[in-house]
């Protein structure tokens, strides 16, 4: 009996695209967590670090602009003007972009350690 592979949905591709866009902007330590079955609040977290407040802001602004071009508008955002911890809520996935000191302080990956870590396809987000 053959087993079927799980189908990849638009939200799966969008979360993967968000992670790739972070990599394209030279974000550090990009992690994609699959929260399906762990929580009902969202399906994925994308977690990344910038190297400075300016870098964190520019990654966030780039994600908003590029994902909007692909039909994914940010539902809610926080922290963009400060650039310390940017949260972008796209409903099906949430992007967290941290200044390195805040990421190590909050250790968000540890809080969600029961979530599956998804490999980020590094072939380029828009390619």
* Enclosing domain of residue 32: 28-118
Is 99 inside a domain boundary?
yes
CATH number of the CATH domain containing 69:
3.30.460.10
Is 104 inside a domain boundary?
yes
* Tokens 């974000």 sit on residue: 27
Q: Provide the number of structural domains found in the chain.
A: 1
The pair of structure tokens assigned to 79 is 């922290």
DSSP output for 8-68: PPHHHHHHHHHHHHHHHTT-EEEEEEE-TTT-SS-SEEEEEE-SSHHHHHHHHHHHHHHHH
The 10s digit of each residue's pLDDT in 112-124 is 878 778 888 765 4
- Prediction pTM value: 0.86
DSSP state of 121: P
Is 37 inside a domain boundary?
yes
The 10s digit of each residue's pLDDT in 43-70 is 999 999 999 999 999 999 999 999 999 9
The 10s digit of each residue's pLDDT in 71-126 is 999 999 999 999 999 999 999 999 999 998 898 888 887 778 787 788 887 654 44
Is 83 inside a domain boundary?
yes
């Amino acid at each position: 009996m053959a087993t079927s592979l799980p189908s990849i949905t638009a939200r799966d591709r969008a979360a993967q695209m968000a992670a790739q866009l972070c990599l394209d902007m030279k974000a550090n330590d990009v992690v994609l967590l699959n929260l399906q079955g762990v929580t009902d609040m969202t399906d994925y977290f994308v977690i990344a670090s910038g190297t400075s407040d300016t870098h964190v802001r520019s990654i966030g602004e780039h994600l908003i602009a590029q994902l909007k071009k692909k039909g994914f508008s940010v539902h809610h955002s926080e922290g963009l003007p400060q650039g310390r911890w940017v949260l972008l809520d796209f409903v099906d996935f949430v992007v967290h972009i941290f200044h390195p000191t805040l990421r190590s302080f909050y250790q968000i990956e540890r809080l969600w350690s029961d979530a599956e870590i998804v490999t980020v396809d590094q072939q380029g987000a828009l390619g």
